[in-house]
Amino acid sequence: MPKSNDSVFNEPHFRGDGFVGDPSDVAAPAAQLPEPDEPLPVGQGAWDEPALSHDLAGERPAEVQTYAQWLEAGLARISWGESWGITFALSLGSGLWAVIGALLSQVQSGTAGGVLLIVVFGPLAEEMLKAAAALMTIEKWPYVFRSPSQIVLCCIAAAVGFAALENLLYLKLYTSEPPELLIRWRWTVCVLLHVTGSVIASLGLVRIWRKTMETRQPPRVSLGTPYFITAATVHGIYNFLAILANPMFAGGP
């Protein structure tokens, strides 16, 4: 007879009937198994495994909720009106979160990191911060969004909030008596740059969200990586060209 910790029947996530063999033949202390009235975390049951044989595993226990069931329950619980209300709240939250990102960006730009920080690490951090609120929502509560436009809206709101505070800091605090051309440049070109980067990043978020909604599987953030890198690259190229064009742009957008 195998030891209790050597048997598949001793795995806390592998529960049910219909197995080949008799699990009672294996000495598995009941204390090691979760109680029936203690549901497993969503997505951690064996019934979420793509290679699971339902013929062998038997019927799914009632206390085990698959990710697809959890997602369906969330979609049924939140109406379209509530979804858009949460989206607008997230848009405001994205702007506030971007404010923190703008403050951190200005602190970093004043350090000795030099061109590498401004051209590579700074743009990547800024683009991810602007997308952070929407990305967290997709990872934790994807059923909140009902349309890709909601995700894009959150990212654009973050970009506008980020650019606005950054411009105020740069023009009012970090630059004394800025020329009119610089003021116009930052409120047009720099704002457009931030919005463009966020729209590109939002396409990555939309790809992640759509895949989850189509497959009813947990979000795969890696699906958005090419878009995040593209947004950071566009941002970094602009920063590099701005540094070359005029030293007063060394702070970066």
Number of independent structural domains in the chain = 2
Give the pLDDT confidence score for residue 29 in this predicted structure: 46
pTM for this model (two decimals) = 0.72
Q: What does the pLDDT look like over 27-86, one tens digit per residue?
A: 444 445 445 455 555 655 555 555 555 555 556 555 567 888 889 989 999 999 999 999
Give the pLDDT confidence score for residue 63 in this predicted structure: 57
Of the pLDDT bands very low, low, confident and very high (cuts 50, 70, 90), residue 159 is very high
**Domain check: are 30 and 121 in the same one?**
no
Note whether residue 72 is domain-resident: no
User: CA–CA separation, 39 vs 23, rounded Å?
Assistant: 21
**Domain check: are 118 and 191 in the same one?**
yes
Give the pLDDT confidence score for residue 233 in this predicted structure: 96
Residue 140: Cβ within 10 Å count: 9
**Domain check: are 110 and 182 in the same one?**
yes
Q: What does the pLDDT look like over 8-18, one tens digit per residue?
A: 555 555 544 44
**Domain check: are 182 and 85 in the same one?**
yes
**Domain check: are 44 and 89 in the same one?**
no
**What is the gyration radius of the CA atoms in the chain, in angstroms?**
25
Q: What's the domain range around 182?
A: 79-249
**Domain check: are 49 and 174 in the same one?**
no
